[in-house]
Amino acid sequence: MTTTPKPIRIAIVLNGQEFICHAVTLPFSLEGYPPVDLVLYGAQPEAAAGCRVNPIPDLDPGAFDLILDGQFMTAGLPAFSPGQVDNLITGPAARFLNSLVRQLQELRQKQEINTGIINRATDAIVTINEDHVIVGYNLGAEQMFGFTRAEALGQDLTIIIPTPYKAEHRAYVRRYVATREARMIGKHARLNAQRRDGREFPISISFSVAEIRDNLYFTGIIRDITEYKEMEDRVLQSERLAAVGNTVAHVAHEIKNPLIIIGGFARQLLKAPGFDDQVRRKLTIIAEEVSHLEEMVAEMRDFVHHPPAQKRQGQIMAAVDEALELFQDTLREQHIQVRRVEETPLPPVTFDPKQVHQVLINLFKNALEAMPEGGEITVTSRVKGANAEISVSDTGAGIAPEAAGNIFQPYFTTKAKGTGLGLAICQNIMAEHGGCLFADSTPGRGATFTIQLPLDEAPVVEG
């Protein structure tokens, strides 16, 4: 248990002519050092406006560790009889010590103010020496990285640097110490840092260096920009979608009518007599490919001009049942079992049945396509925080790591004939519902897609 050091008490005896009141008469201390209390005594208290000056007769020698009397003001007082006081310094020595104590006090107060400002800053402030060892670490750093100040001080800076950059950062410091050539000093940069639990996160950092008594100290002022980066990504995504949307709308409009004509002619010719099997097979291929292109155009149209949600309160599991019912034949043909897991009962939620039905159809369809040789689909329902969750898990090959970060991007697909719009449309639908859609996958062990819908959204009342 840490105990507070006992204060050092110093009495300064002054006369009115040489007394000057400073703010430094406040108690002062630095972390790890005992506090110092200065108490003023004087013959003319009125000369010290704004400061408390006690009458000299009230001075008790036993109450102080040191008494400084530069003008022999205590001479003749009963409590200061010769030989009775061993903590009294008088004359020039006292005046010198008085000046020294005041200067020391002022310096320590300024240091304490600066230290308090740094320690209480919301940004992380971390300082290292030339050996890459942490010598400064404020409360903001504790909250950001998860290491306490006691744990971080004296450790190598690599405890908060992600693995790929540990040696690289140490090399930067060594190079600057050797050459004094700055590459990042005085600049801002966006990098990744590492929390105590090993998680990486994006930061904005500015670098500075100070040379103190021939030693270099490197300081980084660090801000966690996780939320800002997410917002920036959303803005970029919106801009990208807007640009894509304009192109898609134009393309869909231009090819819609020709597709209708081609498909119509192909289907009419299939009904006409007189064609051999080879011709009919080619006409069938034309009709099927046109149908596929028409589906793509429909998805493009839905992606660009998605109708507003018509939400009402209902049971989300009923929508799950309806979507699964459409796949019963396919499930049997592909030898896929469906398992239900109800972790917690779901209360009614507010959603657009048609749009959520579209999302569920897409998730079940993807799960089926991921298991062409059979497997199991697990549908899990739960309440998590302020949301209702439905998870659809498969036992397929999972999502490749290189694709995991792009599966919700428009036009990104790993399928031979996929449009790359299905999951993007589903994510937009869930966002319009105030919820979200996210994926979790381990390669070789399947994938899980989870939709979240808020529980506390009031139902829409249509007038």
- Mean pLDDT, residues 266-280 taken together: 83
Q: Give the model's confidence band at 254: pLDDT under 50 very low, under 70 low, under 90 confident, else very high.
A: confident
Q: Is the pLDDT of residue 87 over 60?
A: yes
pLDDT higher than 90, residue 195: yes
Domains 229-304 and 312-454 share a fold: no
Residue 375: how many CA atoms within 13 Å on its side-chain side? 20
pLDDT in the model for residue 459: 45
What is the predicted pLDDT for the residue at 202? 92
Distance CA 81, CA 62 (A): 13
The more confidently predicted of residues 44 and 271 is: 271
Q: Residue 227: pLDDT band by 50, 70, 90 thresholds?
A: confident
Dihedrals phi, psi of 413, to nearest 5 degrees: -150, 150
Q: Write down the pLDDT at residue 25.
A: 42
Q: Which residues of 350-366 are buried (b: 16+ CB within 10 A; e: fewer)?
A: bbbeebbbbbbbbbbeb
**Binning pLDDT at 50, 70 and 90, where does residue 416 land?**
low
Across the chain, what does the average pLDDT equal? Answer: 82
Instruction: Give the pLDDT score at 458.
Output: 45
**In this predicted model, what pLDDT tens digit does every residue of 332-342 receive, in sequence order?**
999 999 999 99
pLDDT: is 10 or 223 the higher one? 223
CA distance 439 to 219: 39
For the domain spanning 121-224, the CATH number is 3.30.450.20
Dump pLDDT digits (tens) for 21-65. Answer: 443 444 444 455 677 788 888 876 554 455 678 888 888 989 998
Confidence band of 414 (pLDDT split at 50, 70, 90): confident
pLDDT (average), residues 133-146: 92
Q: Annotate 367-402 with b (16+ C-beta within 10 A) or e (fewer).
A: bbebbeeebbbbbbbbeeeebbbbbbbbbbebbeee
Confidence of residue 382 (pLDDT cuts 50, 70, 90): very high
Q: Does domain 229-304 have CATH number 1.10.10?
A: no
Judged against a pLDDT cut of 70, whether residue 299 lies above it is answered with no
Q: Is it the case that residue 296 has pLDDT exceeding 60?
A: yes
Evaluate if residue 20 carries a pLDDT over 80.
no
Domain residue extents for the chain: 8-119, 121-224, 229-304, 312-454
- Residues 372-398, mean pLDDT to the nearest whole number: 92
The CATH code of the domain at 312-454 is 3.30.565.10
What is the C-alpha separation between 412 and 417, in angstroms, rounded? 11
Q: What is the mean pLDDT of residues 406-413?
A: 74
